Amino acid sequence: MDMAGVELSDLRFRWTRTGPLVLDIDAFAVEAGARIFLRGPSGSGKTTLLNVIGGVATPQTGRIRIGDTEITELSPAARDRFRAERIGFIFQQFNLVPYLGLIENVTLPCRFSAQRREKASANRSLDQEAQRLLTHMQLDPAELAGRPVATLSVGQQQRVAAARALVGSPDLIVADEPTSSIDADAREAFLKLLFDETKRTGATVIFVSHDTGLTDIFDRTVDLASINRAAPMQKHAA
C-alpha cells in the first residue's frame, strides 16, 4: 500500500461557474508520513481546500494526487469511497453524531469502508480496536460508554473524534483546527497522542489552523495564503 503523500498542481476552484476564484494553487506537496502545519487564517480558502482534498468539492482545473491516486480523475462515488478508505478527518468541534454511542462514533467510518473495517479488526475485534484507540487518547471507554456523546466535554469529544479519524489506519489525517476549542495545556497533549498513533501507522498529517503557537511540533509549516493566490491580500500580510 502506498503511503499518502499529497500533491496539488495547477489547482483552480470556484464555488460557482462565474463566482470568484477561491483556490488558485500552482503547486503544493506534502511528503508521505509528514506532519504539516498549514496556517490558514479566515478567508484563505482553508475550508474549501479541505473539501477539495476530501473529494467533496471538485476543482474546475488542476490535479490532486493522494498517494498514487489521482482523485480528480475519480467519479464522485469513487471519491467518496476513497475518502472513506484512506482519509480520517477531525474538525474544530461538534465532531460526533449525537445519536450514536461512544464506540459507534469511533467505528463510524468502518460502516462505509470495508477496507477500514478489515484493517481495524485485523488483530482484535472492531469494538476492541475502538476501545484501544480511546484508551490511547486517554479516555476510559468503560466509564464513558453509557453516556450520550453530547454530554462529553469538548476536549473528550475531540479525542473521540481523533480516535474515529485513526480507526482503520487511514493514510491521511486531515485535522481542521481540532484544538481551537480546548485549552492551551491540553492542546499539546492532544497532538502528542495523535502523532504517537500516526507515527505507528505512518499516516500523513495535514493540520490546518490559524494558531501559530503549535508550529514547533510539526515537520513543516506552510502559510496557505502564500500558496493560494486567490486568498485576499490582507490575509497574506496576516
Which of residues 93 and 128 has its CB atom nearest to another protein in the complex? 93
Report the 10 Å Cβ neighbour count for 64: 24
Q: Which of 28, 89, 190, 207 binds another protein (CB under 8 A)?
A: 89
Which of residues 93 and 189 has its CB atom nearest to another protein in the complex? 93
Counting contacts by CB under 8 A, is residue 84 touching another protein? yes
Q: How far apart are CA 38 and CA 40, in angstroms?
A: 6
Which of residues 85 and 223 has its CB atom nearest to another protein in the complex? 85
Complete edge-to-edge strand list for the sheet that includes strand 69-70: 23-30, 6-13, 61-66, 69-70
Counting contacts by CB under 8 A, is residue 163 touching another protein? no
Beta strand 6-13 pairing with 61-66: antiparallel
Per-residue contact flags (x/-) with another protein for residues 171 to 190, judged by CB under 8 A: -----x--------------
Instruction: 119-126: list long-range contacts, CB under 8 Å, 24+ apart.
Output: 119/168, 119/169, 120/167, 120/168, 120/169
Q: Which amino acid is at 179?
A: T
Shortest spacing between CB 185 and another protein, in angstroms: 25
Counting contacts by CB under 8 A, is residue 85 touching another protein? yes
Could you tell me the sign of the dihedral formed by the alpha carbons of 126, 131, 148, 198, in that order? negative
Counting contacts by CB under 8 A, is residue 157 touching another protein? no
Shortest spacing between CB 26 and another protein, in angstroms: 23
Report the 10 Å Cβ neighbour count for 190: 21
Q: Which of 3, 33, 34, 51 binds another protein (CB under 8 A)?
A: 51
Contact between residue 97 and residue 105 where contact means Cβ atoms under 8 Å apart: yes
In angstroms and rounded to an integer, the radius of gyration of the C-alpha atoms of the chain is 17
Shortest spacing between CB 54 and another protein, in angstroms: 5
Q: Which amino acid is at 55?
A: G
Shortest spacing between CB 160 and another protein, in angstroms: 12
Q: Which of 31, 80, 127, 211 binds another protein (CB under 8 A)?
A: 80
The residue assigned the cell 502564500 is 226
Counting contacts by CB under 8 A, is residue 67 touching another protein? no
Which of residues 16 and 185 has its CB atom nearest to another protein in the complex? 16
Counting contacts by CB under 8 A, is residue 77 touching another protein? yes
Binding site for another protein (CB under 8 A): 47, 50-51, 54, 56-57, 76-77, 80-81, 83-85, 89, 91-92, 94-100, 104, 108-109, 111-113, 164, 176
